[in-house]
Amino acid sequence: MTVPLLCFPFAGAGASFFTPWQRYDLKATRVHPVQLPGRERRLDDPPFPDVFTAVESLAGELVAQADLSPGPVALFGHSFGAVLAYEMARHLRERHGIPVAHLFVSGSAGPTTRREAGATGLPDEEFLARVREFAGYDHPTMADPELLELLLPTLRSDVEMHEAYVSTAKDPLDAPITSVRGLDDALVSSEQAAQWETATRSGFRLEELPGGHMYLTEYPGPLLKLIDDELKAWA
């Protein structure tokens, strides 16, 4: 048996970011990219207004898929995707009774910490400069003016959702959490990545891999090995 790994993208990215992950020889993990509206095949769909609406809507789609029920499932998210993955893990377990094998959060401070330097509401050039500063990474779309024009509203929406997010959870998640960061991440410190320990009652690990905030865009192999090794207990 393999465990489906629901993968939530960073701000502005789509499910296709995770498509290459499906070609890795994983023993226990079945990579399942989650597509958000406002991009790729869902380009014409309006973006979600907030994280909780996103989770409520996406959960209905995911639960309807036979290979995700009755579980267990694992979840992965990077940066903005980390809070989506966390809230989805809570939602699937509490509202649908689907067991969560593991939550992997990447490049993210804990769910009760808000980003200090905001980009929401800035003019386009300042907004894009701030996003580049946050991530230390240029999304390839940013170099194409026509594609950027299409992506910008979605990127703005994702960033605004991320910056407005505050966890409302009263109890720790009943599933283990692994928090991952790049060793050279200038946006999320080790201390911030370790904040996820208080979000679970079922075990916590902090892992650091080579690279900066967007370490997973260069070579995801070590990250996928880490995930697959963890999920082998469920296979």
Active site residues: 79, 213
Pull the structure tokens for residue 152: 């910008």
In angstroms, how far apart are the furthest CA atoms of the chain?
Answer: 49
Q: Helix, strand, or coil here: 174? A: coil
**DSSP sequence for 17-67:** GGGGGGGS--SSEEEEEPPPSSSGGGTTSPPPSSHHHHHHHHHHHHHTSGG
Q: How are beta strands 3-8 and 29-33 bridged, if at all?
A: parallel
Nearest C-alpha neighbor of 76 from the set 108, 123, 37: 108
215 DSSP 8-state letter: G
| Helix residue ranges per DSSP H, the chain | 51-63, 80-96, 124-135, 145-164, 190-193, 221-231
Handedness of CA 50, 142, 108, 175 (dihedral sign): positive
